[in-house]
A and B are shown apart, each in its own frame.
Chain A
Amino acid sequence: DAKTTQPTSMDCAEGRAANLPCNHSTISGNEYVYWYRQIHSQGPQYIIHGLKNNETNEMASLIITEDRKSSTLILPHATLRDTAVYYCIVRKILTGGGNKLTFGTGTQLKVEL
């Protein structure tokens, strides 16, 4: 699976949009971009994933550049509860439940008043 690069940390004011970047310049054509987050002392939580089109769900939006070498996770109105480590992971979708994930260091997002 392709390697990703994320900033170590980011701050965001509550109520503002949080834009979390991820570089994945070695991504291959059959690899998806996944985002998870981990609130302190909890298991990771799936947020969103995409292949090449932008995606949106109730949690966030995912913007993938046309060349697919980078992406941005957008939390439109960040709250204090969004404070967490956000992981960007690139991987193929495997059949048979083979969904092992390789976690990088992620971005520590701190949402402040």
Chain B
Amino acid sequence: NAGVTQTPKFQVLKTGQSMTLQCAQDMNHNSMYWYRQDPGMGLRLIYYSASEGTTDKGEVPNGYNVSRLNKREFSLRLESAAPSQTSVYFCASSGWAKTEAFFGQGTRLTVV
């Protein structure tokens, strides 16, 4: 029962470097999401994908790109990392009713 799996768990980047955060779910969910969590800010939606082949911007999309590779996988890319992108990133998925989101364990990213 893997649920939502994120890789890597930890990452340190230098300013200007790029990287891709990977996410996969095994619950046959249509919808997938990327959130960032910062102290005192809750979780803020970066991008979401309502179904395979579609992606839409959330509240804080600047500096990020996403790819819905197939129904299982949804990746988040930072093209040129900035210190302001230091955060904990969570991937989530939800079923057709979208009343419950299932989260991965997060990726703690530090940009120096």
Physical interaction between A and B: no
Chain B interface residues toward A at CB < 8 A: none
Chain A interface residues toward B at CB < 8 A: none
